[in-house]
Amino acid sequence: MDLAPDAGQAGRRWAARLAAVSIWLLPLLAIDPTTYLVLTVAGLAMGMLLFLTAAGLTVIFGLMDVLNLAHGAFFAWGAYAGFAVLNALNGLGWVETGTLGQGILSVLLALLAALAIGGVLGLFLERVIIQRVYGDHLKQILITMGASMVLAEVIKVLWSPNNQTVLVPLSFTGSYDIMDVVINKFRVVAIVVGLAVYAGVMAVMQKTKLGIIIRAGVENREVVQTLGYNINRIFTGVFMAGAALAAVGGSMWGIFREQITPAMGDENLIFALIVVIIGGMGSVTGSFLGACMVGLAFNYVAYLVPKLALGANILIMVVILFIKPWGLMGREQ
C-alpha cells in the first residue's frame, strides 16, 4: 500500500519528463524533418555556447550571491580577443591560407587568449569592484551594469564601434552533408566543447575537494568559513573561472558567426539571464538544460517567425516562472 503512492509519483515524474521532451518534437508539424534536424543541431550548438556563459553566471550567483550583469561583457571581450589573435596569426599566413594543423592551432590560440583575457578581467572586476558591494543586491546590480557598459565602451575605443569580420581557418568553415542534413563543421566543435565543459564542471563539482567546498559554500557560506577555508580566495577563483568560460564562449561565437560587434555582450547576457532563470539560479545542470531549451526554441522559432525568436524564449521563461517560480532545478530560498 505504501509503495503505491511512490510508484504513482515516479510515474507522473516520468510522464512529465516525456512530455517535456516531446514538446521539442512539436515544430515537426510545421518544419520538414531534414530542416528540423539541421535546426536541432544549430540549436544545440547555440545552446552549448550559451551554456558557457550561463554556467559562470549561475555558479557565481549560487556561491557568491552576486548577480553579475557584466558577464556579457566578458563574452564580448573573449570574442574580440580571439578576433585579434586570429588577425595577428593571419599575418603569418596561418589562418586563411594555412594548413589544417595551423588552422587548428590558431583557433586553439584564439580560445586560449580569450580564456586568459576573461580570467584577467574577472580578477580585476572581482577584486576592484565587486568585493566592495558583497551582500548588497541593489548596488551589485547597479554597479555590474555600469561595469558592463564601461567594458563595452572600451571595446569601441580599442577596436571600433562597427561590426568586425572574424577570419576563420578554412578547415573550420564548410559543412558535412549526411543524407541531405547539412551540418556546419563548427557547430559540431561547439557541441563537443560544450559537452566537455559541462562534463568537466560537473566532475569538478562532484568529485574534487574544491567542488565540495564550492557546493558547501552555496549551501552555507559562514560554515565553510568557520571550517577554515578562505572563502574570499574561492570567490575570486570561481569568478575568474566563470569569466574565462564566458570569454571562451564569446570567442567561439565569434568564430561561429564570423562576425562580432561590441553589442554582442548585451545580447548574450539577455539569453544567459533567460537560461539561468529557466534553469534555476545556482544550478549548473539546470543551466545546461535551460541553455539547450533556449537554443532549440530560438532556432525553431527563428526559422518559422524570425521576429518572435527572442519573444519565444521570453514566453518559455514566463511559463516556467508560472509553473516553478524558482526555475527547473532551483531551490527555494
Partner 1 sequence: MTGREPTPVQMERLHQRSRRFTRPGFLIQLALLACLIAGPLVMPSFRVMDLVAKIMIFAVAVASFDIILGYTGIISFAHGMFFGLGAYSVALICHYSQPVQYHHLLLAGVLAALISTVVAVVISALSLRVKAIFFAMVTLAVAEFCHILGYQWSSLTKGEDGVSFKLPGVFSADWSGGALWGTQINGRLLVYYLILVVCALLFVGLVRFVRSPVGRVLKAIRDNEQRATALGYRVFRYRVLSTVFGSLVSSLCGALFAMWLSYVNPDTVLGTPLMLNILLMVIIGGLGTVYGGILGAAFIKIAETWLPDLQKLALSLFPKMELMHRLAERWILLFGILYILSVLFFPKGVVGTLRDQAEARRLRRLGRP
Chain positions contacting partner 1, by CB under 8 A: 67, 69, 129, 132-133, 137-139, 141-143, 145-147, 149-150, 153-154, 156-157, 266-267, 269-270, 273-274, 276-277, 306-307, 310-311, 313-314, 317-318, 321-322, 325-326, 333
Smallest separation, CB 269 to partner 1 (Å): 8
Is the Cβ of residue 62 or residue 169 nearer to partner 1 in the bound state? 62
Tracing cell 578554412 back to the chain, one arrives at 170
Nearer to partner 1, 104 or 154 (CB): 154
Residues 298, 77 contacting (CB under 8 angstroms):
no
Nearer to partner 1, 49 or 191 (CB): 49
CA distances from 118 to 213, 276, 284, 294 (A): 23, 20, 20, 24
Question: What whole-number distance in Å separates Cα of residue 192 and Cα of residue 103?
Answer: 18
Whichever of 144 and 236 has its CB closer to partner 1, that residue is 144
What 3-state DSSP class applies to 43?
Answer: helix
226, 249, 305, 332 from 191: Cα distances, Å: 41, 11, 25, 31
- Closest residue by Cα to residue 267 from 118, 39, 49: 49
State in angstroms the smallest separation of the CB of 128 from partner 1. 10
- C-alpha span between 47 and 119 (Å, rounded): 22
- Shortest Å distance, C-beta 110 to partner 1: 24
Cβ neighbour number for residue 112 with a 10 Å cutoff:
15
Instruction: Give dist(CA 205, CA 126) in Å, integer.
Output: 21
CB of 317 to partner 1, least distance (A): 7
**Closest separation between CB of residue 268 and partner 1, Å?**
11
Using the minimum distance from each CB to partner 1, give the nearer residue, 41 or 151.
Answer: 151
User: What is the number of alpha carbons within 13 Å of residue 232 lying toward its C-beta?
Assistant: 6
Closer by beta carbon to partner 1, 277 or else 292: 277
Q: How far is the CB of 99 from partner 1 (least distance, A)?
A: 36
